[in-house]
Amino acid sequence: MNRVNSALKRVPNLTLYIAGVLPLFWLLFLLFNGGLGIDPVKALEHRVGKIGLQFLIAVLAVTPLRKFFGLNLIKFRRALGLLAFFYIAVHLAIWLALDIQFYWAEIWTDILKRPYITIGMTGFVLLLPLAVTSNNASIKRMGPVGWRMLHKLTYPATIAGGLHYVWLVKGWQYEPLGYLAGIILLLALRMGGNRQRVASN
């Protein structure tokens, strides 16, 4: 694992940013070639949203991977988080501009009265301060303890994303439930890891 970790150390973060936006270009390519089906707006909205959720889950996986497998991906965590925010912001923009098309009366009632949109929006709002403070200057200004506290908002934000997905589909479907189960598992592993550390002290 040490060899993997030292190899990863030589991979520049920029690689991840570039690789991370490729899926969006792929979706745009599909969009202009009729590859997104009969309802391209919904397809784009849902697929971009799902990629955002996948990046959030990747962020949550960093700590358990290090704890249980010794795989150190910490240096990539900021990039993963910012990519998650980027996709979720694009997801929101698609909803506003192409789906609901700035019908503010409907948007407002959607946000207030439809639980899956309320919770999705909550998740997005929780991510805002994280995206804004994902830079070294903010860590310095806030101090590592305060910064780390703030960034624990990742947990409720990811749960909100998982619930948003489960809630928006008709009936109880396996795929979104699988995502939610994965999120809960990753959070549980994190708690389990802490307890182990306390026990070994």
Partner 1 sequence: MTYRFKTSLKWSSLTPRMDYMNRRQVLAGVGAMALTAMVSPSVAKIAAKASAFSTDEKPNTLEEITNHNNFYEFGTSKSDPAQHAHQLTTDPWSVKIGGLVDKPGNYDLADVVKGVDMEERIYRFRCVEGWSMVVPWIGFELATLLNRVGVQSGAKYVAFETLHRPEEMPFQNSPQFPWPYVEGLRLDEAMNPLSILATGLYGEEMPKQNGAPLRLVVPWKYGFKSIKSIVGITLLSEMPPTTWNNIGPNEYGFYSNVNPDVSHPRWSQASERRLGGGIFAKRQPTLMFNGYGDEVASLYDGMDLRVNY
Give the nearer residue to partner 1 in terms of CB position, either 131 or 168: 168
Six token digits for residue 115: 């639980």
For the CA atoms of the chain, what is the radius of gyration?
18
Interface residue with partner 1, options 44, 90, 127, 157 (CB under 8 A): 44
| Of the residues 6, 13, 15, 173, which one makes contact with partner 1 according to CB under 8 A | 173
- Stretch in the footprint of partner 1 (CB under 8 A) among 10-18, 123-131, 133-141, 161-169: 161-169
Please identify, using beta-carbon distances, which residue of 89 and 110 lies nearer to partner 1.
110
Residue among 169, 187, 189, 190 that touches partner 1 (CB under 8 A): 169
How many CB atoms are located within 10 Å of the residue 103 CB? 12
User: Between the CA atoms of 75, 81, 83 and 84, what dihedral angle is there, to the nearest 10 degrees?
Assistant: 150
Q: Which of 83, 109, 190 is nearest to 91 (CA)?
A: 83
- Binding residue count for partner 1, defined by CB under 8 A: 30
Q: DSSP of 16-40, one letter per residue?
A: HHHHHHHHHHHHHHHHHTTTT-S-H
Site string for partner 1, 101-140 (x = CB under 8 A): x-x-xx--xx--xxxx------------------------
- What tokens appear for 35 in the block? 């590859």
Binding region for partner 1 (CB under 8 A) out of 35-43, 120-128, 141-149, 150-158: 35-43
Can you give the binding site for partner 1, defined by CB under 8 A?
31, 34, 37-42, 44, 98-101, 103, 105-106, 109-110, 113-116, 167-174
